A and B are shown apart, each in its own frame.
Chain A
Amino acid sequence: MDGLLNLWQATGIANLTFPALSMIAVGCGLLYLAIAKKFEPLLLVPIGFGAILTNIPVAALSEPGGLLYYVYYIGIDSGIFPLLIFMGVGALTDFSALIANPRMLLLGAAAQFGIFATLFGAILLNFIPGFEFTLQDASAIAIIGGADGPTAIFLASKLSPELLGAIAVAAYSYMALVPIIQPPIMRLLTSDEERSIAMPQLRVVSKREKILFPLMVLSLTLLFLPAAAPLVGMFCLGNLMRESGVVDRLSNTAQNELINITTIFLGLAVGSKLAADQFLTVETLGILVLGALAFSIGTASGVYMAKIMNRVSSNPINPLVGAAGVSAVPMAARVVNKVGLESNPHNFLLMHAMGPNVAGVLGSAVAAGILLALVN
């Protein structure tokens, strides 16, 4: 009889608590979004599954000794996984649109206002009882506005590990929602006339420029913002491998196999942080609201900056391309292209939007470096 009782005690049914069950439901919800709605499936499948695994009672996969514990400890606590992904992103990024029109960097800078305004907003939330965000928490939440998954995870793991699960889920969910969040803001802030502005064709960029570009970004980081060196350094390494043309094998590995393997484990590790006691809090709700706010402000400030530049500059600039300043490569650029085509069916803005888009990646890495340097 004792044996039977012990066996019963070892079953999931006997140990299942309500919070764990609701987190398993959250995991299933993420799986549903990924599989049925195709929302960032590459990440939400491992994250959702990780959330289910970590909440399985008795198995204790996220306790010291468990699989997910080690995956998290090795990959995210150390900051290695997001950096490996960033190297892959660097190897996937073509900077020629930006090198041809470097002023687009200003749009990538303006869109980072979403990050810093949200930082302020997160502290403001402290006036509502139940919220107690420190400056570290607020910075980690605000980086969602950078629309860059690996950067958000990297910064959250350094500044506010206990909020990492919610921040990563919010960052990736909103990146999937870019085509829904951005267009209304873009239409609201621009006139039909502005949206149909055609931009001059970009010049051809030489191979030499493309090879020197990552080295130059790296040397500026070395001189002015060493705190951003992990992110920018790995990004530039990936980009140099791509552009140098002599290590195609390494470049291909970085943008395919390595980024895929890392994504599996990164997703699992992020999912392992979706434990009930950390996720089912009022703070998660706050993070979701702030994340949407960060995205919207970033989009708006990018569009405004582009409007100002259009007035000042001799070459016409379509204000829509400013919205691509919130990285989210290449989704944001595609959204710009689509909204532009609605106003002028012959106006393809995709290549013009890629400039601010990749500038946004650099911008959010720089913003993350500044936050690390000032808040840590």
Chain B
Amino acid sequence: MEISELLAQAANLMLTGMIGVFLFLSILIFAVKALSKLAATEQESQQPATKKSSKPVSTGVPAAHVAAISAAVSQFRQKN
């Protein structure tokens, strides 16, 4: 094949390739933005529910117990 013909093909490939890469990644930009909005709205609607459920868990174990257990664990680790 003639070099000039190859060059024309390469130039063509360069153009289509760059357009292709930009198009694909631009679509991805919009998709990611849409995804972020979707995730943000879902999080907002879920927030009140998570607040309620998290409270009883934190009050289940008194702070004094947590401190005592962690002190025991660290003592155990130091010994071994």
* Chain A residues with a Cβ under 8 A of chain B: 98-99, 102-103, 105-106, 108-109, 112-113, 115-117, 119-120, 122-124, 126-127, 134-135, 138-139, 206, 208-209, 212-213, 216-217, 220, 224-225, 359, 362-363, 366-367, 370-371, 374-375
Whether B28 contacts A102 by the Cβ 8 Å rule is yes
List of 8 A-B pairs having minimum Cβ-Cβ separation, nearest first? A102-B32, A116-B14, A105-B25, A123-B10, A109-B25, A102-B29, A116-B17, A370-B20
Given contacts A208-B42, A217-B28, 5 further A-B contacts (CB under 8 A): A105-B25, A109-B25, A124-B7, A126-B3, A209-B39
The CA-CA distance from A359 to B17 in the complex, in Å, is 16
B12: nearest chain-A partner, CB-CB: A374
Chain B residue contacts of A108, Cβ below 8 A = 25
In chain B, what residue has the closest Cβ to A215? B35
Residue contacts A-B, CB under 8 angstroms, 26 given: A102-B28, A102-B33, A109-B18, A109-B22, A109-B25, A112-B17, A116-B14, A116-B17, A116-B18, A123-B10, A124-B7, A126-B3, A135-B6, A135-B9, A135-B13, A139-B13, A206-B39, A213-B32, A213-B35, A216-B31, A220-B27, A224-B24, A370-B16, A370-B20, A374-B16, A374-B17
B63 touches A (CB below 8 Å): no
Known contacts A109-B25, A224-B27, A362-B25; A120/B10 CB under 8 A: yes
> Closest approach, in angstroms, between the C-beta of A361 and any C-beta of chain B?
12
Residues of B within 8 A of A (CB): 3, 6-7, 9-11, 13-14, 16-18, 20-29, 31-33, 35-36, 39, 42-43
Residues of B within 8 A of A103 (CB): 29
Known contacts A116-B14, A206-B39, A370-B20: A126-B26 contact under CB 8 Å: no
Contact A119 B33 (CB under 8 A): no
Which chain A residues border B16 with CB–CB below 8 Å? 370, 374
Whether A119 contacts B3 by the Cβ 8 Å rule is no
Q: How far is the CB of B8 from chain A (nearest CB, A)?
A: 9
User: Which residues of A are found within 8 Å of B13, using beta-carbon distances?
Assistant: 116, 119, 135, 139, 371, 374-375
